[in-house]
Amino acid sequence: MPQEHRSGCPINLSLEVLGDKWSLLIIRDMMFGNRRHFRSLLTNSEEGIATNILADRLQRLTEQGMITSVADPRHKQRILLSLTEPAIQLVPVLAHLGAWGRRHLPVTPELAIRAELLERGGPQLWDEFMDELRELHLGLTRSAGTPSVLERLTEAYLKETQAQLVMSLPAKRAHAADKKTTM
C-alpha cells in the first residue's frame, strides 16, 4: 500500500494520521477527559467541534485503527468508543506536545495544569497512565491497588479551575460595582 502514502517517512506517515487540527483533540478528550460517547465529545469540547467534523474524524480514526466502537453494554442504544493500543501509545507524543505548547504558547492555567503534571511525571507516569488506559479501553486489568493517574490529573484540573474561578470573582464584583456607579 505504499502508493497511498506521500512517503514512507515515519513523521510524514504519523502526520497523515494525526496532521489535522481535530483528530488529536478527539484522542486527547477520550484520553484525558475519558469521553467515550459521541455526545460527550461534541458538547464538552473546549474548542466547539462541529457535528459533521466530529462524525468525519471518528470515521477516519476508526479506519486508521486508532479507535473502535461497540454498543455500550450499559446503554444499548449508545455507541461506546475506545482507544486502540496504537492510540494509547500516543501518550508520550501528547505529553511532549503539551509541554512544548505550555512553554511557547499563550496557554490558560486551568487547561495547562494536566500538561504540567504529565511533563513533571516523565516517562514513568506516562507508562502508568498508558496501563490505566489499557484497562479502561482494552479491558486489560492492572495489578490491584495501582493509583489512578487519570484521577490525579482530573483532580488537579478541577482544583485549578476552582482557583481560577475564585480569582476571577473580585474582578467581576468590582466590575459590577463600576457599572452601578456609572449608571
Measured distance CA(10)–CA(56) in Å, rounded: 24
Q: Is 176 in the site for a second copy (CB under 8 A)?
A: no
The CA angle 39-26-133, to the nearest 5 degrees, is 100
Residue whose CB is less far from a second copy, 7 or 146: 7
Q: Nearest-CA neighbor of 128 among 137, 116, 118?
A: 118
Between the CA atoms of 103, 121, 111 and 68, what dihedral angle is there, to the nearest 10 degrees? Answer: 120
Binding mask 60-99 for a second copy (x = CB under 8 A): --------------------------x--xx-xxx-xxxx
Contact present, 106 and 92 (Cβ < 8 Å)? no
Which range binds a second copy by CB under 8 A, 41-49, 70-78, 140-148, 165-173?
A: 41-49
Which range binds a second copy by CB under 8 A, 72-80, 104-112, 142-150, 165-173?
A: 104-112
Q: What share of the chain is helix, strand, coil (3-state, %, to 5)?
A: 65, 10, 25
Which range binds a second copy by CB under 8 A, 44-52, 55-63, 68-76, 127-135?
A: 44-52
Q: Is 1 in the site for a second copy (CB under 8 A)?
A: yes
Q: Is 121 in the site for a second copy (CB under 8 A)?
A: no
Q: Is 162 in the site for a second copy (CB under 8 A)?
A: no
